[in-house]
Amino acid sequence: LVTQVEHQLEDKLMISRTAILVAPTKQGDFYVRGQEEHKRKSIKRSSALMRYLVSDRRVVVLEGLERKIEDTSEDTERKPLEESKAELDGLDASVVAPVVIGENVNAIIVLGRKMSGDPFGDDDINLLELLGPQLASAIVKSQLYDQIRQFNVKLQKEIDIATHDLQSANDQLQERNRLLQVIQNITNLMTKSLNLKKVTQDIVDSIDKEMNYLGGVLLFLGKDKRKIFPEALTEKGAITKTVLRLLPKPLTEYQGNFQDDSTLTVKAMRSGKMEVGENLSDFFSPPIPPRICDAIQFAINVKSVVAVPIFSEEVIVGALVYTHNMPASELRKTDFEMMQSLASQTGVVYRNIELYRQLEQSNTELGEANAHLQQLDQAKSEFVSIASHQLRTPMTGIMGYLSMLVAGDFGKVKKDQQQILQNLLDESQRMIRLIRIFLNVSKIESGKLVLERNTVHIEDVIQKSVEVLSKAASDKGLKLIFVKPKQPLPEITIDKDKVGDVVMNLIDNAIKYTDKGSVTVSAKKEGDMIHTWIIDTGIGIEPHEAKNLFNKFVRGYGIAQINPDGSGLGLYVARRLTEAHGGKIWVESDGKGKGSRFQFTLPLNPSKEGELSAGGDHLQYTRQNR
């Protein structure tokens, strides 16, 4: 653009030489574009001529500047004018015209002398003033175009680099995905079985089928930490047959020595690092003779060998030796990652199989121990049942005679003897209750509990228990209160003796663990259930203890100090007997020292005839009329 304008001006104005000086930046100096730097004519932005052009912003003609210098007498004004003329002389210029856009000078038009020798007239000046803004706009557009072109070139280079990087990343991603897919496929094969022989064969076969390598050998370290024995060899048709044919004896008979051998395989196992080599004999000799290794290598075209150690929980257990039909230099990074991953997976599988073996052995031992314990438990239950039966009969007789003596059926008893007999009777009753608990536990756990159901009023069952335990309550200074319902409750179909045991156990417990106050018993109908409460003002229960109180041999914290004679079976029997009737039992308490509320519900009628299930034990019952 600049060159074309220069030529047009030279032709139209018949000028010997024209130059357009352009500043590459807003703050830079002006120079002729295209000239070599050492020959380049320029106008410095800080020069007197430039200051003159910026301040006047009009075309400067050499003759006019000379006249202005002659007319100026003040040195301060004259000096910059003379410096400006000197710069024009240096440029060999007759006319200088600023090219201005807005507040900035974008270029400077420098014209030499006319070839005719005529001075520059008003028409020439007007032409330059008219050309200035148009040239400035054209230069700006040209610079903008040049910037865009340079930006496009730079952008294209960056796009090319980014495209190359993206393609490279995509290739790496595809290779990584292939690696992950291969490892996933191998893992799926390895986790389908817990048979060590099958799993190890699947591992070495995957070296060919999934990883597309020549093949491999899986070696394990013996439990003595000395022998290294081959566990599996890749099955690859003719190649495998060739290898086995070249071996003088079966593969399993070639065992290395972890302590003494110096093969690369042993080195990898000792160092825990992968070993890479070209010769098969470097990895397997000894125990296989070198000439046999060389023959195998030639026959199946082995170009490189890689040994990767196998660890299980940071303990060396073996090695995977891979064979390739390409030099090691052609193996990619992902190849080494795949080989390492397979070895790591093999270590995990090895550990899992070992754990499975140990688990099977433990299960066998536990099964035998459990069977023995069941036999002992059965013998214990039978012993408890027999002993309880044998104890109940004489104790019942003793309690009967003691009751008759206390009542005076055999004559009047002295006062001091009366108290002794009463104490014996109380202890006999306590012993009978304990025997009944043992009998119930024995029957529940042996599955021989029989419920003899009949229709009764629950009030009668509660009243009987209250009467039996009223003396025990009065001896402790407690009030034992039975709050009878205002209206008789409907009849309920239950085993009255078993439900009586439940009520008896709950009231007896309340009396034992209440030092002052009262024990209150009540019952009412709720829907198709009878709901019974035993509320005491005793020691109370922590909420976190309540849910476990109905388990066998469980007692509240600190209870043993209050009542060391407890068996830990009473509430367990109460729960099992309640559940056998299709009911529920639970306890509520606001905490230590705030009393307890033991409750249980029973259905008015059993859910079905015949066999009931309660906590896994089958219970038989018969139904009778009252």
DSSP 357-372: HHHHHHHHHHHHHHHH
Kindly report the CA angle at 180 between 178 and 184, in degrees rounded to 5? 115
Mapped onto helix, strand or coil, the DSSP state of residue 316 is strand
Rounded Cα–Cα distance for residues 501 and 507 (Å): 10
Residue 43 lies in a domain: yes
In this predicted model, what pLDDT tens digit does every residue of 168-196 receive, in sequence order?
878 777 777 776 777 777 677 666 666 77
**Tokens at 449, concatenated:** 């509990």
Residue 378 lies in a domain: no
Contact of 218 with 230, CB cutoff 8 Å: yes
Please identify, among 153, 176, 203, the residue that sits at the C-terminal boundary of a domain. Answer: 153
Q: What is the CATH number of the domain that holds 23?
A: 3.30.450.40
Please identify, among 310, 331, 352, the residue that sits at the C-terminal boundary of a domain. Answer: 331
Overall residue count recorded for the chain in this entry:
626
pLDDT, residue 615, reads 41
**Tokens at 593, concatenated:** 């020292």
Domain shared by 562 and 457, yes or no:
yes
Higher per-residue confidence, 610 vs 357: 357
For 135-142, which contacts have Cβ atoms below 8 Å and span 24 or more sequence positions?
135/5, 135/20, 135/99, 135/107, 135/109, 136/99, 136/100, 136/101, 136/106, 136/107, 137/101, 138/1, 138/5, 139/1, 139/2, 139/22, 139/99, 139/106, 139/107, 140/101, 140/106, 142/1
Return the H-helix or E-strand segment holding 493: strand 492-494
Residue 212 lies in a domain: yes
Residue 41 lies in a domain: yes
Domain shared by 141 and 8, yes or no:
yes
Higher per-residue confidence, 140 vs 361: 361
Task: State the angle between helix axes of 196-209 and 122-190 in degrees (0 to 180), rounded to the nearest 10.
Answer: 150
pLDDT, residue 373, reads 79
Return the H-helix or E-strand segment holding 440: helix 415-446
- Residues contacting residue 165 through CB under 8 Å, at least 6 positions apart: none
Rounded Cα–Cα distance for residues 52 and 451 (Å): 126
pLDDT, residue 325, reads 94
Residue 387 lies in a domain: no
Domain shared by 22 and 138, yes or no:
yes
In this predicted model, what pLDDT tens digit does every residue of 292-336 receive, in sequence order?
999 999 999 999 999 999 998 889 999 999 999 999 999 988 899
Whether pLDDT at 140 is above 80: no
Rounded Cα–Cα distance for residues 572 and 376 (Å): 21
Please identify, among 312, 331, 350, the residue that sits at the C-terminal boundary of a domain. Answer: 331
In this predicted model, what pLDDT tens digit does every residue of 425-438 receive, in sequence order?
777 777 777 677 76
The residue type of 475 is: D
Place of tokens 């070696």: 219
pLDDT, residue 385, reads 58
DSSP 330: G
Structural domain tally of the chain?
3
Contact of 277 with 263, CB cutoff 8 Å: no
Domain shared by 115 and 226, yes or no:
no
Q: What is the CATH number of the domain that holds 530?
A: 3.30.565.10
Range of the domain at 44: 1-153
82: left (phi over 0), alpha (psi -120 to 50) or beta: alpha
Residue 27 lies in a domain: yes
Domain shared by 206 and 142, yes or no:
no
Across 14-18, 230-234, 398-402, 566-570, least confident range: 566-570
Residue 463 lies in a domain: yes
pLDDT, residue 418, reads 78
Domain shared by 16 and 94, yes or no:
yes
Contact of 263 with 234, CB cutoff 8 Å: no
Residue 357 lies in a domain: no
**Tokens at 495, concatenated:** 């085993």
Whether pLDDT at 25 is above 80: no
In this predicted model, what pLDDT tens digit does every residue of 491-547 receive, in sequence order?
999 999 889 989 998 999 999 999 999 999 999 999 999 999 999 999 999 888 887
Secondary structure string (H, E, C) spanning 289-311: CHHHHHHHHHHHCCCEEEEEEEE
Domain shared by 211 and 144, yes or no:
no
Q: What average pLDDT is seen over the chain?
A: 83
**Half-sphere exposure in the Cβ direction for 241 (13 Å, CA):** 2
- Nearest Cα neighbor of 388 from 345, 352, 348, 442 is 442
What is the pLDDT averaged over residues 450-473?
91
What is the pLDDT averaged over residues 201-209?
89
Place of tokens 């109908």: 525
pLDDT, residue 517, reads 95
Whether pLDDT at 387 is above 70: no
Give 276's strand partners: 306
What is the pLDDT averaged over residues 542-560?
73
Domain shared by 144 and 222, yes or no:
no
Domain shared by 476 and 586, yes or no:
yes
Q: How confident is the model at residue 131 (pLDDT cuts 50, 70, 90)?
A: confident
Measure Cα distances from 193 to 197, 202, 351, 430, 449 in Å: 10, 10, 14, 61, 46
DSSP 214: S
DSSP string, 223-245: TTSSEEEEEEE---THHHHHHHH
What is the pLDDT averaged over residues 83-109?
83
Mapped onto helix, strand or coil, the DSSP state of residue 494 is strand
Higher per-residue confidence, 181 vs 347: 347
- Residues contacting residue 553 through CB under 8 Å, at least 6 positions apart: 567, 568, 569, 572
Measure Cα distances from 105 to 1, 58, 111, 136, 594 in Å: 18, 11, 17, 9, 100
Domain shared by 599 and 461, yes or no:
yes
Contact of 606 with 581, CB cutoff 8 Å: yes
Higher per-residue confidence, 390 vs 238: 238
Domain shared by 201 and 137, yes or no:
no
Domain shared by 138 and 17, yes or no:
yes
Rounded Cα–Cα distance for residues 150 and 29 (Å): 22
pTM of the predicted model, to two decimals? 0.41
